[in-house]
């Protein structure tokens, strides 16, 4: 009898000391981001057994499947296959609600690329559906599982910053350029605050806890534009930017800390990400939370220069798919996953709340909370990390 037939949403658990049966996975969507997901999930995580990929363009799915030695399927075929336990949704955000709903209704656990949904109401509906069916639903970003943010969390937990009183996160990009290749970035819902800020707010919630309110400002500079890259399909055509191109906000945390949030897509591609936590006894600086690794520095009271803090955690390279592996271990172990649907909904509400606040001219008071997320145990530092890092997920 299958897992779904028994009604056990967490699957069979292995006896103590034995590696559990891998979770059979299908990837929905074979676009650019699927390349790193497929590679990592197949090559680096023994808890995952990736068996199929799908795409609206079946030829694209066949190409990806042939490269990785898996099956090419339609979405309907993948959802109807009783052996597939978990689907990884890599479709564009506007398709997330429908794909996730259909997958849950088909009895599959779901891990989705960011963001969880395009509205809070849709996110709430998906959470309620997953709970009702006894299935797990998780969402990117999973970069907070990487070495840099786990290192930062360890320093925070050990009180190296004292009381954290403020934070600053920011990044610049050129969506005028990126929009030539990824048109959704200029469309409604594709603004840099949502598309990129989701990494920063997820990391802040992992480090600081729940957000209580947000107050935002948005600008859409020069909305009437023209495609300028020769050789691109729409070269010379006019288009209208629907997304905010600059977003600024103040974010208030339940802990009392205040954070500034500034994202500018009307700048240059050699981005300047900043991520800082300021406390009563120290200042912590991280690299880009869009990455898994990177340098972490700490400057304590009396120091003229910050000190680089070596990490005792793994996943220093692009480890997309780590959240899927951690989720699979959670399913097999019968515990909550770290990249949980509750965290994803809380971050989604904050991001959309910034937009709502900017439009209304008043703060958005949060209605959701972020769950307490346990850090990974330190000491798992090997890359590749099939044997070493996976021990941290158990």
Strand partners, 365: 213
Nearest to 200 by CA among 308, 295, 114: 114
Cβ-contact 301, 282 below 8 angstroms: yes
Q: What local confidence, expressed as pLDDT, does residue 132 receive?
A: 98
End-to-end C-alpha distance for the chain, whole angstroms: 25
Ranges of H-type helices in the chain:
3-6, 34-43, 58-68, 75-80, 96-105, 120-133, 147-157, 175-181, 192-195, 197-208, 322-333, 341-360, 390-393
Q: State the Cα–Cα distance between residues 289 and 146, nearest whole angstrom.
A: 9
pLDDT tens by residue, the chain, 394 residues? 222 232 333 343 443 456 889 999 999 998 889 999 999 999 999 999 999 999 988 889 999 999 999 999 999 999 999 999 999 999 988 899 999 999 999 999 999 999 999 999 999 999 999 999 999 999 999 999 999 999 999 999 999 999 999 999 999 999 889 888 888 888 877 888 888 999 999 999 999 999 999 999 999 999 999 999 998 989 999 999 998 999 999 999 999 999 999 999 999 887 888 999 999 999 999 989 999 999 999 999 989 999 999 998 989 889 999 999 999 999 999 999 999 999 999 999 999 999 999 999 999 999 999 999 999 988 776 555 445 567 778 7
290: tokens are 């869009």
**For 304-334, b where at least 16 C-beta lie within 10 A, e where not — what string?**
eebeebebebbbbebbbbbbbbbbbbbbbbe
Cβ-contact 48, 41 below 8 angstroms: yes
Q: What local confidence, expressed as pLDDT, does residue 187 receive?
A: 82
Three-state secondary-structure class, residue 194: helix
Q: In what order do the strands lie in the sheet with 48-54?
A: 71-73, 48-54, 23-28, 86-89, 109-112, 137-139
Q: What local confidence, expressed as pLDDT, does residue 215 receive?
A: 98
Give the rounded distance of the alpha carbon of 82 from its chain centre: 27
Strand partners, 259: 167, 251
Which domains, ranges and CATH numbers included, belong to the chain? 22-139 (3.40.50.720), 144-308 (3.30.360.10)
- 349 Cβ contact partners less than 8 Å away, ≥ 6 residues apart: 120, 123, 366, 367, 368
């Amino acid at each position: 009898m299958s897992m779904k037939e028994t009604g056990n949403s967490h699957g069979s658990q292995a006896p103590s000391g034995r590696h559990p049966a891998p979770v059979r996975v299908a990837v929905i969507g074979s676009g650019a981001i699927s390349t790193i997901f497929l590679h990592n999930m197949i090559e680096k995580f023994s808890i995952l057994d990736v068996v199929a990929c799908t795409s609206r363009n079946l030829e694209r799915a066949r190409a990806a499947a042939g490269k990785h030695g898996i099956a090419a399927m339609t979405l309907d075929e993948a959802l109807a296959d009783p052996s597939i336990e978990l689907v990884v949704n890599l479709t564009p955000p506007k398709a997330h609600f429908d794909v996730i709903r259909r997958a849950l209704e088909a009895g599959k656990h779901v891990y989705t690329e960011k963001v969880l949904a395009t509205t809070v109401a849709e996110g709430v509906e998906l959470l309620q559906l997953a709970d009702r069916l006894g299935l797990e639903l998780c969402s990117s970003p999973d970069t907070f599982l990487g070495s840099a943010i786990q290192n930062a969390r360890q320093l925070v937990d050990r009180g190296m910053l004292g009381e954290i009183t403020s934070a600053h996160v920011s990044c610049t990009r050129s969506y005028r350029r990126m929009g030539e290749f990824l048109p959704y970035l200029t469309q409604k819902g594709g603004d840099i605050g949502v598309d990129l800020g989701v990494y920063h707010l997820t990391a802040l919630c992992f480090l600081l806890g729940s957000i209580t309110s947000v107050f935002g400002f948005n600008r859409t500079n020069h909305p009437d534009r023209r495609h300028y890259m020769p050789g691109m399909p729409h070269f010379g055509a006019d288009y209208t930017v629907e997304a905010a191109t600059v977003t600024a906000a103040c974010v208030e945390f339940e802990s009392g800390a205040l954070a500034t949030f500034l994202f500018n897509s009307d700048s240059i591609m050699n981005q300047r990400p900043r991520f800082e936590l300021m406390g009563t006894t120290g200042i912590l600086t991280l690299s880009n939370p869009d990455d898994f690794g990177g340098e972490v520095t700490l400057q304590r009271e009396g120091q003229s220069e910050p000190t680089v803090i070596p990490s005792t955690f793994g996943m220093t390279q692009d480890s997309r798919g780590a959240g899927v592996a951690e989720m699979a271990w959670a399913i097999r172990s019968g515990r909550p996953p770290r990249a949980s649907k509750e965290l994803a909904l809380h971050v989604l509400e904050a991001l959309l709340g910034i937009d709502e606040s900017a439009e209304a001219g008043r703060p958005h008071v949060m209605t959701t909370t972020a769950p307490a997320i346990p850090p990974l145990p330190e000491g798992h530092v090997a890359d590749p990390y099939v044997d070493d890092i996976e021990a941290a997920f158990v």
